[in-house]
Amino acid sequence: MTQEKKKKDSILNLLKYAGKYKWPLIFCPMVMIGEVAMETYIPKLIQRLIDEAIPNSAQSGEMSQVLICGGLMIAMALISMGFGMAGSYLGAKGGMGFGRNLRQALFEKIQRFSFKNIDKFSTASLVTRITTDVNQTQNTLIMLVRMAFRSPIMFLMSLFYAWQMNPSLTSILFVAVPLLALGIVIIMRSAFPRFQIMMKKYDILNREVQENLIAIRVVKAFVRSAFEKKKFGDAADEVTNAQRSAEKVVLWNGPLMQILMYGCIVSVLWFGGQQIIRGEMGVGALLTFITYITQILMALMMLSFLFVGIVLSRASISRILEVLNEEPDIANPESAATHVKDGEIEFDHVGFSYAGDKDNLVLQDINLHIKAGETIGLIGATGSAKTSLVSLIPRLYDVTTGTLKVGGRDVREYDIHALRDQVAMVLQKNVLFSGSIKENLRWGDENATDEEITAACQAAAADEFVRSFPGGYETDLGQGGVNVSGGQKQRLCIARALLKKPRIMILDDATSAVDTATDSRIREALRSQMPDTTKIIIAQRITSVMDADRVVVLDNGKIADVGTHDELMARCDIYRDVYLSQQKGVA
């Protein structure tokens, strides 16, 4: 990793998300300094107690010095505890608040992502970033504000007092500290890549869980539970192994510290003991000295934990920053147009590739002019890029070459909200949300009256079955709309789109699960109720498109032919073949 990248992945770049929680984060280290001041002074009192107060009181029979010393120690310990508790509270409050704000910022950013941005990260990885990665970062920050000042100050003050007491004994640290630093650097360097691998494995695990739960019905229908269990087990094992491999390295911190700590204590006892025998030092001073040496090494250990924490969270931080720094691929232009004149659509030499690669186009040289209010059928084999073609109209993706105009203007000139308000698209993969039917329908128009909702449902042939539910329009749909059948769900999604009263209505295979009679009723309602709305109907069944004004036949990303049903029957082989094969099915 380059130096520059390291700097970029620093937690400091995220601190602006602390918002109003910056105050506890600022106060916490200050309070911790108070704690350290007490903690490092108490050993001095021990020395005074043992080397002065106790011998004096033994001589004079007077306890006052001992009591003063002891009382001071208790008071300082209590104050230190108070500071410690306040520091923990402030650190936790600031850190948790920071985590909350960071999650919110990520979530808001993702809301602005285009389909292409989301394709790039994958949903599972976004979930890990918003949960595990934020937790990791938040914990590091809490540790950072608690230790960042406390440990260095403890180190310096203890070192100062120790040096003041006995410079020659303090020189033991000249051996211990470089060894500790070297050990920590080696541990850090080898731990970092391992933790990065671990986070990747977490992504995979999350993906398994997510895929399985979304498709749990399919899993059960295909009796794939055993297979899925094994797949999950494997992913879980991989996380365990990756984590174990990383922790195995970090674990060396403990023994390293212990060896150095006990090595120092033994040396102090050895050399200090000799000084006591020679009468150069008191017993109290030796005890105090050992306390300082312990505090110095403890401070260094805390710093090393902090370093390890920062190393660990660097992977998380860089993954969070990746999302925060990702530019939404589709952004509003400056001085965007907010009015879509009508539902006219014009494809002018349009080429499109999901990867933005001009040599590998999914759609090639599309030229098509659709008049406002026209009904267009769109037909073609699976994978012929029907969905891709219509996704360009509400700018779910941007064209790679050529131009696409809606209402006489390039789609890239519109304010995205204004454009999408006028282009209703019933996606091939429909989603409803938990909540009542009415709430779901109001996605189309949050101010829709009950009458408008009923009218839209009538047009979408949904009113009848909704009324048959005991809860009617208040029926709760459950997560992802599980409480309705596939065809019912499709009809609710059409009603939701109708409520938008859009200028352009796109139905991507939106009636595939609806019987032919109902399908034709819906199309009839669309035609009579929305005469000015441009309608694009993608279907596999010829019967769904044969009464359209014109039918577009897509073949492998290119327009093979455009015409009415009769014209296409007369001249387009692909169309005729599909028609005949479907007629045969009927016969």
Ligand X SMILES: Nc1ncnc2c1ncn2[C@@H]1O[C@H](COP(=O)(O)OP(=O)(O)OP(=O)(O)O)[C@@H](O)[C@H]1O
Out of 166, 275, 375, 387, the only residue in the binding site for Mg ion (CB under 5 A) is: 387
Q: Which stretch binds Mg ion (CB under 5 A): 305-313, 384-392, 471-479, 526-534?
A: 384-392
- d(CA 208, CA 222) in angstroms, rounded, equals 17
Query: How many CB atoms neighbour CB 189 within 10 A?
Result: 11
Q: What is the 3-state secondary structure (H, E, C) of 388-401?
A: HHHHCCCCCCCCCE
Asked if 395 interacts with ligand X (CB under 6 A), we say no
Out of 28, 191, 323, 385, the only residue in the binding site for ligand X (CB under 6 A) is: 385
Closer CB to Mg ion, residue 46 or residue 368? 368
567: amino acid identity, one letter: E
Site string (553-582) toward ligand X, x via CB under 6 A: ------------------------------
- Measure the CA dihedral 183/184/189/191, to 10°: 110
Out of 388, 422, 533, 544, the only residue in the binding site for ligand X (CB under 6 A) is: 388
Out of 178, 383, 408, 471, the only residue in the binding site for ligand X (CB under 6 A) is: 383
Closer CB to ligand X, residue 33 or residue 427? 427
Tokens matching residue 548: 């359209």
Q: Which stretch binds ligand X (CB under 6 A): 14-22, 212-220, 288-296, 381-389?
A: 381-389
Out of 386, 489, 491, 496, the only residue in the binding site for ligand X (CB under 6 A) is: 386
Tokens matching residue 238: 């991989």
Q: Which stretch binds Mg ion (CB under 5 A): 34-42, 50-58, 178-186, 427-435?
A: 427-435
Closer CB to ligand X, residue 333 or residue 356? 356
Q: In angstroms, give the least distance from the CB of 512 to Mg ion.
A: 10
Closer CB to ligand X, residue 17 or residue 397? 397
Q: What does the DSSP 8-state code read for residue 49?
A: I
Residue from 440, 450, 536, 528 nearest 488 by CA: 440
Q: In angstroms, give the least distance from the CB of 448 to ligand X.
A: 30
555 three-state secondary structure:
strand
Closer CB to ligand X, residue 144 or residue 568? 568
**Burial per residue of 305-325, b for 16 or more beta-carbon CB atoms within 10 angstroms, e otherwise:** bbbbbbbbbbbbbbbbbebee
Closer CB to ligand X, residue 134 or residue 390? 390
Q: Which stretch binds Mg ion (CB under 5 A): 54-62, 139-147, 283-291, 381-389?
A: 381-389
Reported for 430-433, long-range contacts at CB under 8 A and 24+ positions apart, including other chains, are 430/481, 430/489, 430/490, 430/493, 430/510, 431/480, 431/481, 432/477, 432/480, 432/481, 432/484, 432/489, 432/492, 432/493, 433/477, 433/479, 433/480, 433/481
Out of 232, 305, 307, 354, the only residue in the binding site for ligand X (CB under 6 A) is: 354
Closer CB to Mg ion, residue 127 or residue 427? 427
Closer CB to Mg ion, residue 48 or residue 386? 386
Asked if 137 interacts with ligand X (CB under 6 A), we say no
Selection from ligand X, Mg ion, none that 410 binds (CB < 5 to 8 A by kind) is: none
Selection from ligand X, Mg ion, none that 443 binds (CB < 5 to 8 A by kind) is: none
Asked if 428 interacts with ligand X (CB under 6 A), we say yes
Sign of CA dihedral 160, 165, 167, 169: negative
Closer CB to ligand X, residue 47 or residue 388? 388
Selection from ligand X, Mg ion, none that 382 binds (CB < 5 to 8 A by kind) is: ligand X
Out of 27, 52, 112, 119, the only residue in the binding site for ligand X (CB under 6 A) is: 119
Out of 97, 380, 481, 487, the only residue in the binding site for ligand X (CB under 6 A) is: 380
Q: In angstroms, give the least distance from the CB of 363 to ligand X.
A: 8
Selection from Mg ion, ligand X, none that 380 binds (CB < 5 to 8 A by kind) is: ligand X
Residue nearest to Mg ion (CB): 387
Closer CB to Mg ion, residue 308 or residue 554? 554
Q: Which stretch binds ligand X (CB under 6 A): 46-54, 97-105, 386-394, 417-425?
A: 386-394
Which residues lie closer than 8 Å to 42 by C-beta, 6 or more apart? 73, 76, 77, 80
Q: How many residues does the chain have?
A: 587
Q: In angstroms, give the least distance from the CB of 409 to ligand X.
A: 25
Q: Which stretch binds ligand X (CB under 6 A): 19-27, 331-339, 385-393, 513-521?
A: 385-393
Q: In angstroms, give the least distance from the CB of 340 to ligand X.
A: 24
Q: In angstroms, give the least distance from the CB of 489 to ligand X.
A: 17
Query: How many CB atoms neighbour CB 395 within 10 A?
Result: 20
Task: Yes or no: say if 207 and 231 are a contact pair by the CB < 8 Å rule.
Answer: no
Residue from 312, 197, 203, 313 nearest 245 by CA: 197
Out of 281, 362, 411, 568, the only residue in the binding site for ligand X (CB under 6 A) is: 362
Closer CB to Mg ion, residue 428 or residue 512? 428
Q: Which stretch binds Mg ion (CB under 5 A): 254-262, 276-284, 296-304, 383-391?
A: 383-391
Selection from ligand X, Mg ion, none that 119 binds (CB < 5 to 8 A by kind) is: ligand X
Q: What does the DSSP 8-state code read for residue 476?
A: B
Count Cβ atoms within 10 A of the Cβ of residue 392 and give its class: 0-12 exposed, 13-18 middle, 19 or more buried.
buried
- d(CA 127, CA 111) in angstroms, rounded, equals 13
Closer CB to ligand X, residue 375 or residue 388? 388
Query: How many CB atoms neighbour CB 362 within 10 A?
Result: 20
Concatenated DSSP letters for 228-268?
Answer: HHHHHHHHHHHHHHHHHHHHHHHTTHHHHHHHHHHHHHHHH
- d(CA 334, CA 341) in angstroms, rounded, equals 19
Q: Give the gyration radius of the chain's Cα atoms.
A: 35
Closer CB to Mg ion, residue 264 or residue 426? 426
Q: What does the DSSP 8-state code read for residue 94?
A: H
Task: Yes or no: say if 574 and 551 are a contact pair by the CB < 8 Å rule.
Answer: no
Q: What is the 3-state secondary structure (H, E, C) of 111-156?
A: HHCCHHHHHHHCHHHHHHHHHHHHHHHHHHHHHHHHHCCHHHHHHH
Q: Which stretch binds ligand X (CB under 6 A): 376-384, 472-480, 492-500, 570-578?
A: 376-384
Q: Which residues bind ligand X (CB under 6 A)?
A: 119, 354, 362, 380, 382-388, 428
Residues that bind Mg ion (CB under 5 A): 387, 428
